[in-house]
C-alpha cells in the first residue's frame, strides 16, 4: 500500500515550503516519528516527520525546490510494493495521506546542507546493506541526524535495531564512549567550525552568487523573504507614528543589582528587559487599546496580555529576527518573565521556535540597548497596534531635584497604529510606563 507524503502546512500563514534537505533517500526504511526532511516555511526551517512505517519508494520533489502546500513530495510503501509512477504536483487524495506528516513541529533553524566530513580509519560495522547502488548503511534518519549533531563518526556505529539497523540508542552509546575515552566529537555538518575549520573566519551561510565587478548577490531564504514582505506591508498599510519618552533608570538598576546579588545562588539573573516587559504588561492592562488589533470596521480588544520579544538570529542560522511570545505576561513575576525570555532566546538560536512560541503576540518589544544603541524606531508587528523600541540605559549628565548630577537614562520610542491609538492615548500609556519603570518596587507585587 502506498502512502503519499505531501507538503504540510507547518504554520498558519504558510502557503508554500522549500525542501532544505532530505534526510533519507529512495529505498531507505523509515519508522513512525522519523524526521525525513527539513522544510523551510515563511517563518523558520522545521522538521518533517512521518507517521508510517515503510520504505521510501520515491522522492518526487528534490532538495532546494519550493512547492505549494498539499503538493505530493514523496511516497512510502508500507507493504513493500513499489509505486510505478507519481505526478510531481499531485495533491494528497485521501485524509490518511494528508495525515502522514505532523501538522506542526518545533522548528530547526538550518542554513546549509550536510557537508562531507573525514572520519577516523576504523573497521566498518556490520550495519551495512549491499544493493545495486553499492554499500548502504542501515541507519534511521533520526539516528543519522543525531550522529551529525553529536559529532559521532558513522564508521564507529554498530546497530542494535532490527536487521542490524543503527538506531538512536546506538548513537547515544557511541557518543558516551567517545566522551569517556576523551575523543573529541567531529564538528557538526553545516556548523561554523565545519565550514571554516578551527580558528577560521565564519562566512554568512547563505547562497552567494557573483554578478561581476566585484559584486555579488545573496539569495534570501523563505523566512527572510517573508520578513521583507511583512515589513513592507506593515509600513505601507499601517499609519505609523512615533512618540518618545526618557526614563530615569537609576532606581531600576539599583534594585536589579540588589536582586541579582540575592538570587545568584539560585542561578537567576534578571535583565533590564525583564523589568521592561513586566512594566509594559502592567501598563497594557490599564490601557486596553495597547492590547488591541485593528479589524477594518472595529477594534478587537484582546483578553490575554501576550508580549512578543524580538530575538536576533546569528548569521550561521540565516540571520533575521523572530518574535518569541511571553503569554499572559501581566500575570508573571520578574523571575518567570526572565526564565521564559531566556528559554525562548535559547530555543530560537538552537532548535528554533515552534508556532506555539511565536503566535498570539498582542504587543512587541525590541531592545537594542545591549548593543549600545541610544535610540531607534521599530516597525509594527501586525496584527499588533504598537511596538516599543528601547535603547540602552546611558550614563550621562542629568538634572535631579534641580541639581546637575550623573545618572542613567533610557529612551524608549513607541511606534503606533493611528487607527487604534491616538497621540493622547500614547502619552497616557507612556506616563503609566514611566511610573512603573521609575518606581520598580511596584513591579515586585
What is d(CA 150, CA 220) in angstroms, rounded to the nearest whole number? 29
* Pick from 120, 80, 75: nearest CA to 100: 75
Largest CA distance in the chain: 87
Mean pLDDT, all residues of the chain: 80
What is d(CA 275, CA 189) in angstroms, rounded to the nearest whole number? 39
Q: Report the run of H or E that residue 301 belongs to, with start and end.
A: strand 299-301
Predicted confidence (pLDDT) per residue in 97-128, tens digit: 344 444 444 433 333 333 333 433 333 444 54
Angle between helices 272-286 and 250-263 (to 10 degrees): 120
146 — pLDDT class (breaks 50, 70, 90) = confident
Q: Which residues are catalytic?
A: 418
Which domains are assigned to the chain?
Answer: 1-111 (2.40.50.100), 120-199 (4.10.320.10), 224-444 (3.30.559.10)
Beta bridge partners of 30: 54
**CB neighbours (10 Å) of residue 360?**
14
Predicted confidence (pLDDT) per residue in 189-238, tens digit: 444 334 333 333 333 345 566 666 778 887 777 777 878 888 899 999 99
Note the pLDDT of residue 210: 66
Is the pTM above the cut of 0.75? no
What is d(CA 92, CA 57) in angstroms, rounded to the nearest whole number? 16
What percent of the chain lies above the pLDDT cut of 70?
76
Mean pLDDT across 418-431: 97
Could you tell me the three cell numbers for 202?
565564519
Is residue 307's pLDDT more than 60? yes
Is residue 345's pLDDT more than 70? yes
Note the pLDDT of residue 35: 86
172 — pLDDT class (breaks 50, 70, 90) = confident
What percent of the chain lies above the pLDDT cut of 90?
47
Could you tell me the three cell numbers for 276?
521592561
Amino acid at each position: 500500500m502506498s502512502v503519499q507524503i505531501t507538503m504540510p502546512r507547518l504554520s498558519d500563514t504558510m502557503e508554500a515550503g522549500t525542501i532544505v534537505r532530505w534526510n533519507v533517500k529512495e529505498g531507505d526504511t523509515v519508522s513512525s516519528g522519523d524526521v525525513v526532511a527539513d522544510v523551510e516555511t515563511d517563518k523558520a526551517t522545521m522538521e518533517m516527520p512521518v507517521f508510517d512505517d515503510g520504505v521510501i519508494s520515491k522522492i518526487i520533489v528534490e532538495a532546494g525546490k519550493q512547492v505549494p502546500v498539499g503538493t505530493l513530495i514523496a511516497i512510502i510503501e508500507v507493504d513493500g510494493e513499489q509505486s510505478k509512477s507519481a505526478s510531481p504536483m499531485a495533491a494528497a487524495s485521501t485524509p490518511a495521506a494528508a495525515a502522514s506528516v505532523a501538522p506542526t513541529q518545533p522548528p530547526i533553524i538550518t542554513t546549509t546542507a550536510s557537508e562531507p566530513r573525514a572520519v577516523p580509519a576504523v573497521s566498518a560495522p556490520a550495519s551495512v546493506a549491499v544493493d545495486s547502488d553499492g554499500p548502504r548503511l542501515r541507519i534511521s534518519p533520526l539516528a543519522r541526524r543525531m550522529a551529525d549533531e553529536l559529532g559521532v563518526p558513522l564508521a564507529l556505529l554498530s546497530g542494535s535495531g532490527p536487521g542490524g539497523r543503527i538506531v538512536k540508542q546506538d548513537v547515544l552509546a557511541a557518543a558516551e564512549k567517545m566522551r569517556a575515552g576523551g575523543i573529541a566529537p567531529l564538528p557538526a555538518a553545516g556548523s561554523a567550525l565545519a565550514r571554516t575549520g578551527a580558528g577560521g573566519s565564519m562566512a554568512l551561510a547563505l547562497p552567494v552568487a557573483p554578478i561581476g565587478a566585484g559584486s555579488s548577490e545573496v539569495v534570501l531564504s523563505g523566512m527572510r523573504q517573508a520578513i521583507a514582505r511583512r515589513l513592507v506591508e506593515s509600513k505601507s498599510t499601517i499609519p505609523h507614528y512615533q512618540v518618545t519618552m526618557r526614563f530615569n533608570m537609576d532606581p531600576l538598576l539599583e534594585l536589579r543589582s540588589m536582586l541579582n546579588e540575592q538570587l545568584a545562588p539560585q542561578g537567576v539573573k534578571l535583565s533590564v528587559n525583564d523589568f521592561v516587559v513586566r512594566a509594559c504588561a502592567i501598563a497594557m492592562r490599564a490601557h486596553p487599546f495597547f492590547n488591541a488589533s485593528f479589524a477594518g470596521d472595529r477594534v478587537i480588544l484582546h483578553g490575554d496580555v501576550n508580549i512578543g520579544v524580538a530575538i536576533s538570529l546569528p548569521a550561521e542560522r540565516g540571520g533575521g529576527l523572530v518574535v518569541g511570545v511571553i503569554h499572559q505576561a501581566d500575570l508573571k513575576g520578574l523571575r518567570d518573565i526572565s526564565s521564559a525570555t531566556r528559554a525562548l532566546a535559547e530555543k530560537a538560536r538552537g532548535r528554533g521556535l515552534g508556532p506555539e512560541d511565536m503566535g498570539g503576540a498582542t504587543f512587541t518589544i525590541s531592545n537594542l540597548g545591549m548593543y549600545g544603541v541610544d535610540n531607534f524606531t521599530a516597525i509594527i508587528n501586525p496584527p499588533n497596534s504598537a511596538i516599543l523600541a528601547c535603547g540602552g540605559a546611558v550614563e550621562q549628565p542629568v538634572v535631579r531635584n534641580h541639581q546637575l548630577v550623573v545618572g542613567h537614562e533610557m529612551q524608549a520610542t513607541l511606534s503606533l497604529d493611528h487607527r487604534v491609538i491616538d497621540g493622547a492615548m500614547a502619552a497616557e500609556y507612556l506616563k503609566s510606563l514611566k511610573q512603573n519603570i521609575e518606581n520598580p518596587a511596584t513591579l515586585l507585587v
